[in-house]
């Protein structure tokens, strides 16, 4: 039984769309990351060396505040909670963007607070190639994302893979969605939903490729 479901993925993988569709279909509580409100994000994409540390700190604080509030408050009328991010993504991005001394300080702060948050019953990672990620990012046309490079997306992808391999005691599902368009093709969404909810996954890394 899933009470807390996380949909994760690289920038442009479609995690917000999928989480929103699942929440609407099942009348579930939806938690969406409020990244667009972060004033450091556009600055970071233009000048990452200068703005990486304040960006990561601001995301850490915002993610903790939102998840702690939403996940510790009972929901009586919705069957489960689905979120389009997990708190540990803070660590993934920080390791990519920060200098070693900055990351070590950041890790201390992260370790203090992340234990206070519940773990998901199922962690779903949406795998999409960097080429398709770039295409998706261009299609949605956000001005501050124009500076994102394929090299940066590749680093993020590898960061997620490294993190997923290090997780223990959790059910992790990696979905290869390279050839699916679940936003516009109803049957594609139905297949993804079946894989998420109708399979009993073991603790550890589970991989499914959907043709």
Active site residues: 84
Rounded CA Rg of the chain: 17
Asked if residues 86 and 105 have their Cβ atoms less than 8 Å apart, the reply is no
Question: CA 17, CA 24: separation in Å to the nearest integer?
Answer: 11
What Å distances lie between residue 64 and 3, 113, 189, CA to CA? 19, 8, 30
What size, in residues, is the chain?
211
Tell me whether residue 141 is exposed, middle or buried, using C-beta atoms within 10 angstroms of its C-beta: 0 to 12, 13 to 18, 19 or more: exposed
**Which residues touch 165 (CB under 8 Å, ≥6 apart)?**
205
């Amino acid at each position: 039984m899933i009470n807390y479901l996380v949909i994760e993925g690289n920038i442009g993988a479609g995690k917000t769309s999928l989480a929103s569709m699942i929440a609407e279909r099942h009348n579930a509580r939806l938690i969406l990351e409020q990244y667009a409100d972060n004033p450091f994000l556009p600055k970071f994409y233009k000048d990452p060396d200068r703005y990486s540390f304040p960006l990561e700190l601001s995301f850490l604080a915002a993610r903790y505040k939102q998840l702690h509030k939403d996940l510790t408050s009972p929901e009586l009328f919705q069957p489960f909670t689905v979120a389009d991010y997990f708190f540990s993504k803070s660590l993934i991005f920080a390791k990519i963007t920060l200098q070693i001394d900055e990351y070590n300080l950041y890790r201390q702060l992260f370790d203090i607070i992340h234990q206070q948050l519940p773990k998901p019953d199922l962690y779903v990672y949406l795998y999409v190639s960097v080429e398709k990620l770039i295409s998706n990012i261009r299609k949605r046309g956000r001005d501050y994302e124009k500076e994102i490079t394929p090299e940066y997306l590749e680093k993020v992808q590898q960061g997620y893979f490294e993190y997923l391999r290090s997780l223990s005691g959790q059910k992790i599902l990696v979905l290869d969605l390279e050839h699916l368009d679940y936003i516009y093709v109803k049957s594609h969404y139905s297949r993804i939903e079946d894989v998420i909810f109708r399979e009993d996954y073991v603790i550890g890394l589970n991989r499914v490729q959907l043709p």
